[in-house]
Amino acid sequence: MSGIDSLPPLREVIATHQLSARKSLGQNFLLDLNLTAKIARQAGDLSCMDVLEIGPGPGGLTRGLLAEGARRVLAIEKDSRCQPVLAEIAAAYPGRLDVIEGDALEVDPLAHLTPPIAIAANLPYNVGTELLVRWLTPKDWPPFWSSLTLMFQREVAERIVAQPGSKAYGRLALLSQWRSDARIVMSLPPGAFTPPPKVSSAVVHLTALPEPRFPADPKMLETVVARAFNQRRKMLRAALKGMTPDIEDRLRSAGIAPTERAEQVPLEAFCALARALAHP
Ligand code: SAM
């Protein structure tokens, strides 16, 4: 018994199933079930929600989510070695856990989920940012998810919540903060994981806003932000000069001095610039 459920402790599970961690799959496991239950609690009340979990591995967070009362969990795991372990968890929580063996970048989970939907994951470092960007840039808003509770390397977490004027401020901060509330809710040292990674980690909680914080066309905003931060040390009149010959006027009409650098410009001004560039 592990304390949070009737299943065996994770160290025992890993030894029985010979689940040695694979670096190529970004496998740094959380084996402390009190900790995984605490992460699950950061997602809020899940009793009326379906939860999408990416990369359950040996199931530490999965068990946390289920023990904390998630209505249902759909877990997508690429490593086939984890399937027998996850099947044991599914048997202990009848009708509440479904597992898809596959690559989260390829599988469309929507057909298997009923709203409201929360996403929770200790993300594999090699696909974490790509998944986050996909979840933040769907075709329509609001998105299929209500909240994201995600473990990242600390440095990535800081880029998500960064404010203007900081080195971490850039595309990820603007994408995240335009249409969601984002905050760091937990910090974890390398020793919390097996094997320990080189760097610290943090859990970020994002709640989808019903509407974007400021109006802007998503494609235009993405283009402007990407161009501005591709050359973040340049003044905006230089970094954006390929967009239109009258970029200085457009910047001024958005209330931005053409000599400003992207790092200094707040979200609201980027949205104003996207609007100023939207008409010919
Ligand atoms: N959730 C477990 C925990 O907290 O202990 C494992 C987290 S580990 C950081 C990342 C997990 O994602 C691994 O189990 C790995 O096999 C899985 N994974 C890696 N790439 C994946 C992908 N493209 N799609 C789905 N799962 C993937």
pLDDT digits (tens, 9 = 90+) for 237-257: 999 999 999 999 999 999 999
Pocket of ligand 1 (CB under 6 A): 25-30, 54-57, 60-61, 76-79, 103-105, 122, 124, 127
pLDDT at residue 266, rounded to an integer: 98
Residue to probe by mutation, ligand 1, list 22, 35, 78, most atoms within 8 Å of CB: 78
Q: How far is CA 132 from CA 39, 60, 106, 231, in A?
A: 18, 21, 14, 23
Ligand 1 atom 18: residue of nearest CA: 55
Return the bridge partners of 206, or none. Answer: 148, 182
Q: Is residue 3's pLDDT more than 90?
A: no
- When the pLDDT of each residue in the chain is averaged and rounded to a whole number, the result is 97
Selection from 49, 55, 66 nearest residue 147 by Cα: 49
Q: Is residue 1's pLDDT more than 70?
A: no
Q: In order of start, what are the domains of the chain with their CATH numbers?
A: 10-208 (3.40.50.150), 218-278 (1.10.8.100)
What is the mean predicted confidence (pLDDT) over 178-184?
98
pLDDT tier at 280, thresholds 50, 70, 90: confident
Q: Tell me how far apart the alpha carbons of residues 199 and 161 are, in angstroms, rounded to a whole number.
A: 18
Ligand 1 atom 11: residue of nearest CA: 55
Q: How far is the CA of 6 from the centre of ligand 1 (A)?
A: 23
Ligand 1 atom 10: residue of nearest CA: 124
Q: How far is the CA of 190 from the centre of ligand 1 (A)?
A: 17
pLDDT at residue 120, rounded to an integer: 98
pTM of the model: 0.96
What is the mean predicted confidence (pLDDT) over 212-219?
97
pLDDT at residue 255, rounded to an integer: 98
Q: Tell me how far apart the alpha carbons of residues 205 and 182 are, in angstroms, rounded to a whole number.
A: 6
CB 123 within 8 A of CB 150: yes
Q: Tell me how far apart the alpha carbons of residues 50 and 46 are, in angstroms, rounded to a whole number.
A: 7
Which residues, including other chains, have CB under 8 Å from residue 258's CB and lie 6 or more apart? 235, 236, 237, 247, 248, 251, 252
Query: In degrees, to the nearest 5, what angle opens at C-alpha 34 toward C-alphas 28 and 40?
Result: 75
DSSP string, 224-253: HHHHHHHTTTSBHHHHTTTT-TTHHHHHHH
User: In this structure, how many other beta carbons lie within 10 angstroms of the beta carbon of residue 251?
Assistant: 24
- In Å, the largest CA–CA distance within the chain is 68
Q: Which atom of ligand 1 is nearest to the CA of 10?
A: 5
Q: Which atom of ligand 1 is nearest to the CA of 62?
A: 1
Q: Within its chain, how far is the Cα of 99 from the centroid?
A: 20
CB 216 within 8 A of CB 273: no
Q: What is the pLDDT of residues 94-137, one digit of tens each?
A: 999 999 999 999 999 999 999 999 999 999 888 999 999 999 99
User: In this structure, how many other beta carbons lie within 10 angstroms of the beta carbon of residue 263?
Assistant: 17
